[in-house]
Amino acid sequence: MYVILNAAMSVDGKISTKNNDSSISSKMDLIRVHKLRSSVDGIMVGISTVLMDNPILSVRFPTRSTKNPTRIIIDSNARIPLDSNIIRSSKKIQTIIATTHHASPRKIKQIQNKAAQVIVTGNRKVNIKKLFQILEKMSFKKILVEGGGEINWSVLKLGIINELMVTISPVVVGGRDAKTLVEGVGFENISNGIKLKLSNTIIQNKNEIVLFYKLR
């Protein structure tokens, strides 16, 4: 399986403001991301991103795609609202809610009744390693991880990311409570950090940079 992590951040490394505004990158970058989405089998995000942004995670730019990748939501307690854009569109676009044994069986049933598939793995938190093994068995070949910071940490730490794409927008937002590209507990020493190899850079929209890194 090939796994790409894509995110947009401010120059100071924030993926959203303290008020959870995450509309960071340009229209040009959105077009790039939607093209990228159309090339993968699955798009993965964490439940906080769904709760904050209520995204639909479909392919819309430059033109609406007839083939949308499966949306995969990491949601330990099956908190996803039944009226969220993801659940409301799950009859049209394939959807997987990855949850744990801790989630309410009643809520799981309600999600399934809305045509979304539920995968249960892990106790308190979704066992992402097992989830990827299950997805591989289901014939997923290419997955795009689209955040947020907590999910980014979990997948990076597991060593399953092949490629990292980061758009740096020419803006500084600050805020100690604003989410950064990678959250989690982090490493104690730089020497333990995840090593990246720069494979390409693009300057778009005059001031915006896209960095492409290979991890393995």
Ligand X SMILES: NC(=O)c1ccc[n+]([C@@H]2O[C@H](COP(=O)([O-])OP(=O)(O)OC[C@H]3O[C@@H](n4cnc5c(N)ncnc54)[C@H](OP(=O)(O)O)[C@@H]3O)[C@@H](O)[C@H]2O)c1
Q: Give residue 178's Cα distance to chain centre.
A: 17
Q: How far is the CB of 53 from ligand X (least distance, A)?
A: 5
Stretch that binds ligand X, among 61-69, 70-78, 156-164, 204-212 (CB under 6 A): 70-78
Nearer to ligand X, 91 or 123 (CB): 123
Using rule CB under 6 A, residue 15 touches ligand X: yes
Q: How far is the CB of 24 from ligand X (least distance, A)?
A: 5
Nearer to ligand X, 35 or 91 (CB): 35
Q: How far is the CB of 55 from ligand X (least distance, A)?
A: 8
Distance CA 96, CA 132 (A): 12
Which residues from 26-45 bind ligand X, rule CB under 6 A? 45
Q: At 185, give phi and psi (nearest 5°).
A: -85, -25
Q: How many CB atoms lie under 10 A from the CB of residue 33?
A: 21
Pick the binder of ligand X from 1, 28, 31, 52 (CB under 6 A). 52
- Please state the length of the chain: 216
Which residues from 90-149 bind ligand X, rule CB under 6 A? 125-126, 128, 146-149
4 within 8 A of 152, measured Cβ to Cβ:
no
Q: Give residue 25's Cα distance to chain centre.
A: 16
Distance CA 102, CA 120 (A): 9
Nearer to ligand X, 48 or 68 (CB): 48
The amino acid sitting at 38 is S
E-assigned strand segments in 19-60: 42-46
Q: How far is the CB of 155 from ligand X (least distance, A)?
A: 8
Distance CA 214, CA 216 (A): 6
Q: How far is the CB of 111 from ligand X (least distance, A)?
A: 14
Q: How far is the CB of 18 from ligand X (least distance, A)?
A: 10
First CA to last CA distance, the chain: 12
Q: Rg of the Cα trace of the chain?
A: 17
Pick the binder of ligand X from 5, 7, 145, 161 (CB under 6 A). 7
Which spans of this chain sit near ligand X (rule: CB under 6 A)? 7-8, 15-16, 20, 22, 24, 45-49, 52-53, 74-77, 79, 125-126, 128, 146-151, 154, 179, 183
